């Protein structure tokens, strides 16, 4: 049965004002978390080749960047550290004066209103580039848990508001939650990289964080991109182990996973719009193949439409400016 011509859906699209009134999904600056890469040294603002507009920053150049983030109204940053020295067990990840720990202290002093999220993993700190302790050519899950817990506690000691374990080790959320609670950090939030896939879209990040594995790959601990039921099991376990926020990573190629997680779980849901997704938009825009701003906002809207309340994105500053009506 046809309801035409009485029902004409184009009436809801006739002007920009009407389109705004009928819009189902609205991005907000408060949705965003902006990732930052911090390095040892001074006066460093090193462009990251495959990620135009992103930089490796030394501590003295970090706070001006955070001030800009705060001025734009973005509520949170996510820190990744690149140490000056690496070893087999990633000891700089949990050093009291490690690069991320010092970055947390600097941000909390300069901009205490900013929520500081810290990545809890060893890949940036190990000389082999894997996310845990390697025995032979295999990452040992249970030996890694203790080091991840030490890392999270050291970051919380420095003042981190949220710790975010990304190593995809079984039991990491429970180990970290117990360690935090046992060291007086009962109120530190835990955002679990609950469904993190072994993705080709991580490529530019490994340049930015200098964290490419020196042998093999991470498919033995990160998820198979073909699986969604397994993702729900991963998320369910992290919820049971004490996660406060759950995350799907990457976002754009996994919108179905985000939507399924939103339907199945009641916790706050984050999605990581990862480096490769960012770089594709940037590259196509530079070549004149797409309108970069429109593509960016379409991608971010899709992530929120799928069900994510929190969007971690390298686009966050640009998107915030557009949402403020700036260019």
pLDDT, average across residues 80-87: 93
Which residues have C-beta within 8 Å of that of residue 75, sequence separation ≥ 6? 30, 32, 33, 114, 115
Is 196 assigned a catalytic role?
yes
Q: What is the CATH number of domain 27-323?
A: 3.20.20.70
- Spatial contact of 230 and 203, defined as CB atoms under 8 Å apart: no
- The pLDDT of residue 96 is 95
Q: Which of 196, 282, 304, 317 is catalytic?
A: 196
- Statement: residue 81 has pLDDT above 80: yes
pLDDT at 26 over 70: yes
Q: Is 249 a catalytic site residue?
A: yes
Domain boundaries, the chain: 27-323
Contact 57, 37 (CB under 8 A): yes
pLDDT of 221: 85
The per-residue pLDDT for range 167-204, each reduced to its tens digit, is 999 999 999 999 999 999 999 999 999 999 999 999 89
Question: In the prediction, which pLDDT does 299 show?
Answer: 98
* H/E run at residue 299: helix 292-306
Strands (E), the chain: 32-39, 45-47, 55-58, 76-82, 115-120, 134-135, 138-139, 162-165, 189-196, 245-249, 269-273, 310-313
> Which residue in 150, 249, 282, 317 is the catalytic one?
249
Residue 48: pLDDT over 80: yes
- 4 pLDDT more than 80: yes
What pLDDT was estimated at residue 131? 86
* Average pLDDT score over the chain: 95
Contact 193, 169 (CB under 8 A): no
Q: For position 1, what pLDDT does the model report?
A: 65
C-alpha distances (whole Å) from 73 to each of 26, 34, 315, 318 are 16, 11, 14, 12
CA distance 63 to 301: 29
**pLDDT one-digit tens code per residue, 239-270:** 999 999 999 999 999 999 999 999 999 999 99
Residue 167 C-beta-side C-alpha neighbours within 13 Å: 38
Is residue 195 classed as helix, strand or coil in its secondary structure? strand
Query: pLDDT by residue (tens digit) across 276-307?
Result: 999 999 999 999 999 999 999 999 999 999 99
pLDDT at 31: 98
Residue 129 has what pLDDT? 78
Region for 159 from its dihedrals, namely left if φ exceeds 0, alpha if ψ lies in -120 to 50, beta otherwise: left
């Amino acid at each position: 049965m046809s309801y035409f011509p009485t029902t004409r859906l184009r009436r809801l699209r006739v002007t920009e004002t009407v389109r705004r009134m009928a819009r189902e999904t609205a991005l907000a600056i408060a949705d965003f978390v902006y990732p930052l890469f911090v390095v040892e040294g001074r006066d460093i603002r090193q462009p990251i080749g495959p990620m135009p507009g992103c930089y490796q920053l030394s501590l003295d150049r970090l706070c001006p960047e955070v001030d800009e983030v705060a001025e734009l109204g973005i509520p949170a940053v996510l820190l990744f550290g690149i140490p000056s020295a690496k070893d087999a067990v990633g000891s700089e990840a949990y050093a009291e004066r490690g690069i991320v720990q010092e970055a947390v202290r600097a941000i909390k002093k300069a901009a205490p209103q900013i929520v500081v999220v810290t990545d809890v993993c060893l890949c940036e700190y190990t000389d082999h580039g894997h996310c845990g302790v390697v025995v032979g050519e295999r990452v040992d899950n249970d030996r890694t848990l203790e080091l991840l817990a030490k890392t999270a506690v050291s970051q919380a000691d420095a003042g981190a508001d949220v710790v975010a374990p990304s190593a995809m080790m079984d039991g990491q959320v429970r180990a970290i939650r117990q360690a935090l609670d046992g060291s007086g950090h009962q109120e530190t939030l835990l955002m679990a990289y609950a469904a993190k896939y072994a993705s080709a879209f991580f490529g530019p990040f490994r340049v930015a964080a200098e964290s490419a594995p020196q042998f093999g790959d991470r498919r033995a601990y990160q998820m198979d991109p073909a699986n969604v039921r397994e993702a729900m099991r991963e998320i369910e376990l992290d919820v049971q182990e004490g996660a406060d926020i759950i995350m799907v990573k990457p976002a754009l190629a996994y919108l179905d996973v985000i939507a399924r997680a939103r339907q199945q779980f009641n916790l706050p849901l984050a999605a990581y719009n990862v480096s490769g997704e960012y770089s594709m938009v940037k590259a196509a825009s530079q070549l004149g193949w797409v309108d970069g701003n429109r593509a960016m906002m379409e991608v971010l809207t899709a992530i929120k439409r799928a069900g994510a309340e929190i969007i971690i994105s390298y686009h966050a500053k640009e998107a915030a400016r557009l949402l403020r009506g700036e260019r």
